[in-house]
Each structure stands twice: as structure tokens, then as C-alpha cells.
Amino acid sequence: MGNVLDKVQVTTASSANEVSTTFGANGSSRPINYDIGLIVPTDFKQAIKAGDTPQIQLYLNGSTITAQQSSLLQEAITNYARLTAHPQPPLKLVMATINADTKSDPTQFLSELYKGMSLLLSFLVGLTLMPNLLIEEKEKKTLRMLMVTPATFSDVVLGKLLTTLLYQLVLSFIILFITGGPSGNIALVLLYILLGATLALSGGLLIGTLFQTSSSAGAFSGLATTCFFLPTIFGGPLGELIGRGNIFQEILHMLPTYYLTDGLYGALQAQSSLSTQLLDIGITLGSTLVLLLLAAWFLRHQARVAVAI
């Protein structure tokens, strides 16, 4: 490895688990004082000579190891195995990179960008489906008929809300796995999917309670869709490429959906700080509660009217 790195200082770990724990999972982000981690089986040479397929695990610190150095390291490991077994060494090399600079890897950058945009835009389904379900009942005059059943007005709305939430979550998880499955901080990614779904549904619920016809709700639904669409396209990684500090970026910061976008992209890359994630989660959750309280107030008023009729 001396041909790849300028200075090599070897630290011997007590076990393979110590190396994997120190570096962490592939795609994660953490402060670390090592550039490379290598796990080699104790019987590596014997296994190759016997025709087996030993596995070598290579950990790279993306903040200090370049893509060129990564390629040279892989070649060096392969060449070492080739010296032991000719002509083709039966070697399985497993790599994990932490603190990766996704901008320097176009493939990874585009993959994370596509996954984030697909998830965020999937929330538009819940945002538009929920008000349509409520307004359809109003336009067809079937809402009053439902009121003569044992179900209350709140039961009817809650049933539609839970059904749409389930549909939205299933759709979001399907998109997540189609685009490569969870990556980065998986727990946070799943949390933001839930937060995004509930934020979209609470907005859709408010629209459905405010308007009586689809035509009157159309313009407001378009505005709500734009609030999701703009941060999805011009926030996150693309926002960093465009540059921070311009007026357009400042306007985006006024939208609650910007913080949902920022948090989800940060979770996918596992590179956001704790304070940033708490801010993103707090604003997204707070905005959801505000929309739900407004919708509940209007629903309560409409329930009184429905009962009076």
C-alpha cells in the first residue's frame, strides 16, 4: 500500500469486529482517525491455495481516500492474491465506504438524488387523494346519508384518513425498494417517510374540509403541490449545486416542505448533524400538527352543521 498512500501507519486490531465497528456501515458518516480498514482471514493464503474463496473486507474513509486511490487499493489486494494463486485468485472483495463525497461519484450522487426525489414526489399522491375523497362525498351529497348510520362524522373522516395513510405508506415503501432499498441512516429514512406521509395527508385533509367542490379546491391543491415540488427539485443536493444564499433559496427556507426535503436527503446520505436533523424533524412535525389542528377545527364546525341539518 506504500505505492498508493504517502505515509502508512499500521494499527493492528484485536478482532475483525473492532474494525467493522470503528468504521461503521457502508454509506455512513462518522468522525474517524483511520483512512483504511482491512479484514483478512487468518487462513487467507491456505484458503486460496486450497481453491476456496476467502473474503477480504476493505473499509475506506471517503473524506481522505480518493476514487483513484480506492481503485489502486483494490488492484493491490487482487495482485497480492494473484501472487499466491495463479492465474486467477478465487478472491471475494467486499468494500464499504464511510464519509463518502457523493458529489465526486456521479453514479452515487444521481442514485441518491433519484431516490430522494421519487420518495418526496410520492407524497403528492396522499396530498391530492385525501381531499378528493372528502369533496366527492360533498358533491354527491352522500355525506349526509352517512350521518344517519351509527358512524359519526369524525369516524367517517378518520376512516378515509387511515385508508389514505396506509395506501401512501405502501406506495412510498414500494418506491423505496424499487430505487435500491433503504440506505444511509435507515431509521431516519423510515421516520421521514412517515413524517412526509402525515404532512401530505394533513395538508390534504385541510383542503378537503375547506372546499365543497373539486373545481374550487383545484387552485389551492396546485399551490400545495408546488410547495412539495419546488423543495424536492431545488433543495437537497441540487440546492447545494445551485448555491446557497440566493433569494430563491431563502424563499424555499420559508416552506415546511423544505425541511422535510433537507432531512430526507440528509438521512439518505447519513451526513446531517444531530442539530440539523432535530430542526428538520421539529419543523416538519410542528407543521403537520398545525395543519391537523386547523383541519380539526373546520371539521368540528362542519360536524355541527351536518348534525343540525
Check whether residue 143 and residue 278 sit in a common domain.
Answer: yes
Cell of 20: 467493522
SS3 97: strand
Which H/E stretch holds residue 222? Answer: helix 214-234
CA distances from 162 to 74, 156, 167, 238, 257 (A): 50, 10, 9, 34, 22
Q: Phi/psi of residue 128, each to 5°?
A: -95, -30
Q: Does 131 lie in the same domain as 95?
A: no
5 domain-assigned: no
DSSP symbols for 68-79: HHHHHHHHHHHH
Q: What is the pLDDT of residue 80?
A: 74
Please indicate, yes or no, if residue 268 is contained in any of the structural domains: yes
The dihedrals phi and psi of 181, each to the nearest 5 degrees, come to 85, 175
- What pLDDT shows up at residue 308? 46
Residue 3, domain member (yes or no):
no
Last residue in a domain, options 60, 81, 100:
100
Same domain, 90 and 112: no
Beta strand segments in the chain, E: 36-39, 55-61, 92-98
In-domain check, residue 31 = yes
* Residue 4 located in a structural domain: no
Let me know if residue 213 belongs to a domain. yes
Q: Is residue 145 part of a domain?
A: yes
On whether both 150 and 226 belong to a single domain, the answer is yes
Beta bridge partners of 37: 59
Say if residue 84 is in the same domain as residue 119: no
Domain boundary among 71, 100, 129: 100
Looking at the structure, tell me whether residues 78 and 145 fall in a common domain. no
Residue 92, classed as helix, strand or coil, is strand
Which residues are within 8 A (CB) of 12 and not within 5 positions of it... i.e. 6 or more apart? none
pLDDT, residue 197, reads 93
Q: Which range of residues forms the domain containing residue 288?
A: 106-308
Residues 216 and 249 in one domain: yes
Are residues 46 and 184 located together in one domain of the fold? no
Domain boundary among 60, 78, 100: 100
Which pLDDT belongs to residue 287? 93
Residues 61 and 200 in one domain: no
Three-state SS at 59: strand
For position 269, what pLDDT does the model report? 75
**pLDDT for res 289:** 95
Secondary structure class of 210 (helix, strand, coil) = helix
In terms of domains, do 189 and 79 share one?
no
For residue 280, being part of any structural domain is answered with yes
Which grid coordinates belong to 152?
A: 359519526
**Omega of the bond prior to 87 within 30 degrees of 0, cis?**
yes
Cα–Cα dist 28/96, whole Å: 9
Strands 55-61 and 92-98: parallel
Q: Rounded distance, CA 260 to CA 231, Å?
A: 9
- Considering the domain architecture, whether residues 78 and 136 belong to the same structural domain is answered as no
110 lies in the same domain as 92: no
Measuring CA to CA, which residue among 120, 272, 302, 288 is closest to residue 204? 288
- Pick from 199, 309, 212, 211: nearest CA to 260: 199
Give the number of domains in the chain: 2
Q: Say if CB 131 and CB 221 are below 8 A apart.
A: yes
**pLDDT per residue of the chain (309 residues) written in tens, 0 to 9:** 545 566 677 888 888 888 888 888 777 777 788 888 888 888 877 877 777 778 888 888 887 787 777 777 888 877 777 766 655 556 777 887 777 665 555 566 677 778 888 888 889 888 888 888 877 777 666 655 555 555 566 677 787 888 888 989 999 999 988 888 877 788 899 999 999 999 999 998 888 888 877 777 777 778 888 888 888 877 766 666 655 556 777 788 888 899 998 888 888 877 667 788 899 999 999 999 999 899 888 877 766 655 444
